[in-house]
Amino acid sequence: MSKQIEVAVLTNETGAHLGAYFSALKTTEAVKSVFLADPSGKQVDLARKELGTKLSQVYPQAEALFQNHKPELALVTMEARQAPAAIDLALEQGSHVLSEKPACLNVSQFEPLVQKAESKHLNLSLALANRTNPEIQYARTLIREGTLGKIYGVELQLLADQTRLTRPAYHGSWYAHKDQAGGGFLSWLAIHWLDLSMYLTGASINEVSGFTANAGGQPLDVEDSAAFALRYDAGFLGTLTAGFYLKQGYQSMIKIWGSKGWLEMLPFADRPLDWSVNHNGKLYRFEKPLEPRGYTPAVRKAVLAAAGESEPLLTSRESLRIIQTVYACYGAASTGKKQAVPGL
C-alpha cells in the first residue's frame, strides 16, 4: 500500500462537486483520514454519508482544523471570491493544495499563492480533472511521440445547457455574479478545454483576442458565450467557441491538425478519440477503456503527489498559466484589444 496521508477539505455552503470529491477521497487508499472545515455546517451530512469512517473530525473554521492537525493535502472548494484566503491558510500551514477552479477573481490574487507554494516546496493544483481521462492521456502520447508531426492548428468547442441559466436559484448563486465568481462560462467550464489544448500540445497560449457576451439575456453579470482566437508559443493558432447554448447536455470538440495527420475528440458524441496519420485516409479509433476518469483519478493523483509518490495533477506554474490565460481572455473582451499572456 502507498504511504497514507491526512486530507483537509475546506468548504462551505458554496462548495462545488463535493459529492465527487468525497467519493474520491473515500476510495483512495492513500487517504488515511479526512478533516472537514465548513463554517456553514451544510456539508457535514454529505461528508458523513460519503466518507463514512474516513471522516475523522468536523470543524466550524479552517483555523481550528489546522491548530489540531497537519494534513499533507488540503482540498479547497468554494466560490472564487473566498478561495484565495483558504488556499493561503493551507499553504501557510504546510499543506499541498488541490483547489476547485477558478480559485480567484484575478491573476493578482493567484500569483502570490503560487509564489508562496513554490517558496515552501508545495504543490498548488487546480482541479482540472479531464487531464487524467484515458483518451486524453493517449492523445497526449500520440502528439508527444510525433505521430501528428508539427502542430499546425487547434479548434476547441465546449457547449452546455442554457436551461440552468433560466432558474431563479442560479440567478442568486455565486456562479452568476462576477464579483463572486470572477467570470462565467469561460472561467468555470471553458477553462478545462483551454488547459487541455496546452496540456496535449505541450505549447502555451501566449496571445488572445476575442469576445464574451450574454447571448441568452438572463439576469447575470457574467458571460454565457465566448469566442476567442488563440496564438500558441510554438507558432500555431487556435480557436475557442464556448457557451451555454443547449437545451440539455453537452457538446464538445477538440481537434488538432499536424503535418503528419490530425486527431479529433468528440466525447459527448461517443467518439472520445479518432485520428488519422500520413494522410492515408485511414481512420483510427480509441477503443480502450474510458474509465477511470473524472474526479476520482484526479484526486488520487493529487493525494499521491502530496505523499511524494507522483507528479501533481498540475504544477503550481501550470495552474498559474491557465489562470493567466483565462484572465487575458477577459482582458481582450473588455478592451477590444488582443492581450499577451505573461510568460512563466
Co-location of 205 and 335 in the same domain: yes
Map grid coordinates 463572486 to a residue.
Answer: 180
Percentage with pLDDT > 70 across the chain: 99
> Is residue 82 located within the same domain as residue 154?
no
Torsion of CA 189, 78, 21, 272, to 10 degrees: 0
Q: What is the mean pLDDT of residues 302-329?
A: 98
The better pLDDT of the pair 312, 343 is held by 312
171 and 93 belong to one structural domain: no
User: Given pLDDT bands bounded at 50, 70 and 90, which one contains residue 281?
Assistant: confident
Residue 2 in contact with residue 309, Cβ under 8 Å? yes
Domain-embedded: residue 318 = no
Contact residues for 34 (Cβ-Cβ < 8 A; gap 6+): 6, 7, 8, 9, 22, 25, 47, 51, 54, 55, 56
Same domain, yes or no: 19 and 70:
yes
pLDDT at 206 over 90: yes
Q: Do 70 and 42 share a structural domain?
A: yes
pLDDT for 1 equals 57
- 312 and 123 in contact (C-beta within 8 Å)? yes
For residue 247, is pLDDT > 90? yes
The pTM (predicted TM-score) of the whole model is 0.97
**Do 34 and 89 share a domain, yes or no?**
yes
Per-residue pLDDT at 209 exceeds 90:
yes
- Number of structural domains in the chain: 2
Does the pLDDT value for residue 168 go beyond 90? yes
**Pairing label, strands 31-37, 55-59:** parallel
| Reported confidence tier of residue 175, pLDDT bands at 50, 70, 90 | very high
Instruction: Assign 5 a pLDDT band (cuts: 50, 70, 90).
Output: very high
- Regarding whether 262 and 163 lie in a shared domain, the answer is yes
End-to-end CA distance of the chain: give it in Å, rounded.
Answer: 37
Region 218-244: what's the mean pLDDT? Answer: 98
What CATH number should be reported for the domain holding residue 79?
Answer: 3.40.50.720
Question: How far is residue 33 from each of residues 19, 51, 326, measured CA to CA in Å?
Answer: 17, 9, 35
pLDDT of amino acid 104: 98
For residue 150, the enclosing domain spans 134-289+323-340
Does residue 114 share a domain with residue 154? Answer: no
* 158 and 302 housed in the same domain: no
Set of cell numbers at residue 65: 482544523
Residue 260, C-alpha cell as written in the block: 503528419
Is 84:103 a contact under the CB 8 Å cutoff? yes
Average pLDDT, the chain: 97
- pLDDT reported for residue 270: 87
Same domain, 36 and 79: yes
3-state secondary structure the chain: CCCCEEEEEEECCCCCCHHHHHHHHHHCCCEEEEEEECCCCCCHHHHHHHHHHHEEEEECCHHHHHHHCCCCEEEEECCCCCHHHHHHHHHHCCCEEEECCCCCCCHHHHHHHHHHHHHCCCCEEECCHHHHCHHHHHHHHHHHCCCCCCEEEEEEEEEEECHHHHCHHHHCCHHHCHHHHCCCHHHHHHHHHHHHHHHHHCCCEEEEEEEEECCCCCCCCCCCEEEEEEEECCCCEEEEEEEEEECCCCEEEEEEEECCEEEEEEHHHCEEEEEEECCCCCCEECCCCCCCCCHHHHHHHHHHHHCCCCCCCCCHHHHHHHHHHHHHHHHHHHHCCCEECCCC
Average pLDDT over residues 33-43: 98
Is 84 within the bounds of a domain? yes
pLDDT band of 191, cuts 50, 70, 90: very high
Q: Residue 275: give its domain's CATH number.
A: 3.30.360.10
Same domain for 91 and 112: yes
Q: Which residues pair with 256 in a beta bridge?
A: 154, 263
Is residue 36 domain-shared with residue 149, that is, in the same domain? no
For residue 317, being part of any structural domain is answered with no
217: which residues sit within 8 A by CB, 6+ positions away?
Answer: none
